[in-house]
Structure 1
Amino acid sequence: MRQYLAATVLASVVLASASPALAATDPLQKKVDQMTRSGVAGALLSVREPDGTVRTWTSGTAERGTGRPMVGADARFRIASNTKIVVAAAVMRLVAEGRVDLGAPVETYAPGLLDGRPITVRQLLTHTSGLPEYLDLVDPKGPLDDRTFLRLALDADPVGPGWSYANTNYLVAGMLIEKVTGQGFRSYTRQTVLRSLGDTYWPGKTETGIRGEHAHTYGVDPFNPASQGKKVVDTTQQPGYLFGASGGLISTPDDLNRFWQSLSPSTIKAMTARTVPAEDPPQGRQGLGIVQYPLSCGPVYMHGGGLPGVRSLSGRDRAGRAVTLYVTGVPRDEQALFSVFEAAMCR
């Protein structure tokens, strides 16, 4: 099901290090620079063409107060909810093997997990299960583990009908993978859909940092007393393990782009065969982990991610061009991210 593209030659052009004259006239560089002028510390845009050619544009700093330039496409960052496309791809692998039926209730594979609710696997992956957002219910001073998070959601009133984005759906999807395969979702995804992505990893239980080269992130952290609910602080240190199947992966822009290109046309077709209208992003249609989104140059397949101090968009078009964009800070205008993403995808 999964075939990773192998490029015999990797051409990398980093426009941020090009001559000042070239950078000044490049429209994508101008757009990336606009992001950092608007207040974020750093911005990175990386495009990988179907033939393996990579171009990367950066702006700003990797760490405020140091003058250190923004990192490149091979440096790591928290991809947040972009994790969901990886988990969805893992579930689709089980579907292709005949081990999971999208139309079957989750409790077919995990009896009692959802208190007997007839929620299907498809409803999990399309955010149409009615499960509420567990993050809104968590007490940071209470137990912090997946079972507790799910219990909070099950004890709350359901939402819907229709699409309602909730990390709870992918919390359950991770548990489903464990029940079907007999191993945790971290191990299963490492051995399958992440096997060829050497710079992507799940953080361990005690890890709060990011391994290797990375940029610092800056935002309002509701669980950090220094933020006091509104002050921007350095949010680089995070309990990434707790974000789990809904948002715990750490990767690089280049790895993410390679992952998108690894999705075969038949896989993408299966994941977008029965989409539902989504409110975020507006005009998007939610598939199985993938959002189909209309751009001026045609539809693209994408997902977004956000944690305190980092925002990202990542996806590909039908031809195989893959784009990943992330900023380290709080954008004044979230739509500006889509503007840069569209410019890169449609150029």
Structure 2
Amino acid sequence: MIFEWKKSFAWSRAALSAGLALAIVGGTLPAQTANAAGTGEAASLPAAAGRTAISAEIDGQPARWGPSVYTYRSLTYVPVREGAVSLGAQVKWDKVQRAAIVTLNGDELLYRPGSDTVSINGFALRMPGTTRYVDGILTVPLRGLTEPLKADVVPVSGPGTLKLSLTTDTHTQVDPGMEPVDAFLKTQNFSGSMLVAQNGSVKMRKAYGVSSASTLVRPTDLMRLGSLTKTFTAASVMKLAEEGKLSVDDTLAQHIPGYPRGDEITLGMLLSHTSGIALNFERKEGTPLAETVKEIQASPLKFVPGTDYMYSNSGYVLLAYIIEETSGMSYPEFVQSQILDPLGMKHSGTATRQTKIPTGYTYDWQEKAWKSVDEYYFSPSGTGSLYSTLDDMLIWADSLSAGKLLSEATMDAMYTPTPYKNYGYGWMTEGEGADKVVFHNGGGNGYTTGLRRGLSDGTVVVLLGNLGGLDTNAMTAAIRRLAFDQ
């Protein structure tokens, strides 16, 4: 599947903006000829005797759609204006480009007569049918309106009747002052979900881009974390250390006897990527963790342990293995029972092939287009194996800051960088004292994520993206500046 962001329609954003002042009058969008609408013939509502009775409620209240709701080729059609307004949006008409413009929560939807796609901030989303002019009113398949506006619809059919129950989007939130953040993410063509909060209070929660050809990313979607998993691995090690079951000063040889030069390598070096162990191991689904450890064990060191920095997924695989050997639980079991469940992170866990997450996309430089990643991205325990949501990641950030999992002394040790890199135990750092910020990014085949926390001011920025190759460290830093002027 291929998508070309920002190329879904031929008109320019500048031209569209020029037409925004032309509001809809008379309760309907302007009439249009059949040829211009692409219907091939003049369309009108079917005779009452042959129509299915349609009733709908929105958030428990009767929908005010008027008489222009109908079924066509097994699809329910609603008028663009009444449908969008009933879901909380605003609607205007671009006379020059002959397009309906729907806006909600800072998003701009473009409906063109006769088209089977709708553009959301430049991302093309496929609808189940085309927009149609009927009796001079522009109508759209119901799911072609509810999906772009992130509303949910549940149909209940009966003999000759169709009852629809709709709920509007209650998860998207853009507080006053967050508009620059919204604009920034649009200019970055970001696809995924994001959250900005301070002291536990959400300031912005929103999703951008597509989850598939016909669905959008939602703020509640599960997403692969990539290397944000390392923050959980590091916390697991430190939790075992607080319980006296191991120490960051333990040598690797103490936990994996016979490991070459293992008596020179400490767990602290594994946590801070200063062990000299670096290897691109085989990522094969179903491979036991112990086998990956043997593969890593056979690789030579890149430098003398404790004398330099080199980011090492291998080191975190070894830490996951040590967590298992020390606790007597598998890594997924340990993280679930010792971290996720106690903190109430109900929508987080270890990703499997069955975990329902948005499609990931990577950029094809030859074709100059984003392509969907069809193969399952497997990552061994400890490195990039977890999934989560925006709200759960806020729980994670705030729980660490509140000392719900680890002591203040332990957290200070985790946030102390080595002389070779601004990396401590599972976290990168910037600033000092009251200005200290900790952060991490993650990535996988078709996913890029980021988390940034201000340790003194309670600020949190989360990015969970389904596009590969984004610089989320730079993006979370920019969002924090825009949101909090820092």
TM-score range, shorter chain: 0.7 to 0.9
Unaligned runs of 5+ in 1: 1-15, 222-226, 279-284
Q: What secondary structure is seen at the aligned counterpart in 1 of 2:195?
A: strand
For the residue of structure 1 that corresponds to 2:333, the secondary structure is: helix
SS at match of 1:193: helix
1:284-325: CA deviations, max 9, x gaps? x11011111349x93311111011111111131113222111
With over 3 angstroms needed to count, the CA separation of the structure-2 counterparts of 1:164 and 1:84, relative to structure 1, is same
The TM-score normalised by the length of structure 2 is: 0.56
- Whether 2:173 is the aligned partner of 1:30: answer no
Q: 1:102 aligns with which of 232, 240, 248?
A: 248
- Paired with 1:233 and 1:49, the residues of 2 have a C-alpha distance of 35
Could you tell me how far apart the structure 1 residues matched to 2:431 and 2:310 are?
20
**CA offset at residue 215 of structure 1?**
2.3
Contact 1:315 1:322 (8 Å CA) reproduced: yes
Higher helix share: 1
Q: 1:71 aligns with which of 194, 210, 218?
A: 218
- Structure 2 distance, partners of 1:323, 1:308, is 22
Q: Which aligned pairs between 1:211-226 and structure 2 lie closer than 5 A?
A: 211=356, 214-219=357-362
Match for 1:49 among 190, 195, 198?
Answer: 198
Deviation at 1:97, TM superposition (A): 1.3
Q: 1:4 — aligned with what?
A: none
Residues 54, 201 of structure 1: alpha-carbon distance in 2 compared, 3 angstrom cutoff: farther
Counterpart mapping for 1:229-240 below 5 A = 232-235=370-373, 237-240=375-378
Cross-structure match for 1:291: 428
Alpha-carbon contact 2:461-2:476 (below 8 Å) kept: no
Q: What displacement does 1:55 show? A: 2.1
Bigger Cα Rg: 2
2:462 is aligned to 324
Cα distance in 1, alignment partners of residues 410 and 184 from structure 2: 33
Aligned 1:86-125 pairs, distance under 5 A: 86-113=232-259, 116-125=262-271
CA RMSD, 1 decimal:
3.3
Identify which of structures 1 and 2 has the higher relative contact order when contacts are C-alpha pairs closer than 8 Å and 6+ apart.
1
Task: Report if aligned partners of 1:32, 1:340 keep a CA contact under 8 Å in 2.
Answer: no
Gaps of 5+ in 2: 1-102, 109-173
- The whole-number CA distance in structure 2 between the counterparts of 1:231 and 1:158 is 39
Counterparts of residues 120-159 of structure 1 (less than 5 Å): 120-135=266-281, 138=282, 144-159=287-302
Which amino acid in 1 is paired with 2:105?
A
- 1:198 equivalent in structure 2: 346
Question: 1:317 is aligned with what amino acid?
Answer: G
1:97-145 per-residue CA deviation (whole Å, 9 max, x = no partner) reads: 111111111222343355744311101100111112233xx386x9944
Identity %: 20
Tell me if the contact between 1:202 and 1:248 (Cα under 8 Å) persists in the aligned partners. Answer: yes
Q: Which has the higher strand share?
A: 2
The aligned counterpart of 2:441 is 304
Q: CA deviation at 1:178?
A: 1.2
Mean Cα deviation higher: 105-114 or 179-188: 105-114
Separation in structure 2 between the aligned mates of residue 236 and residue 344 of structure 1, nearest angstrom: 35
Q: Residue in 2 aligned with 1:58?
A: 207
TM-score of the superposition, structure 1-length normalised? 0.76
- Contact 1:208-1:237 at 8 Å conserved across structures: no
Shift of 1:82: 0.3
State which of 170, 183, 187 in structure 1 corresponds to 2:333. 187
Query: SS state of the match for residue 255, structure 1?
Result: helix
For residues 155-170 of structure 1, the aligned pairs below 5 Å read 155-160=298-303, 161-170=307-316
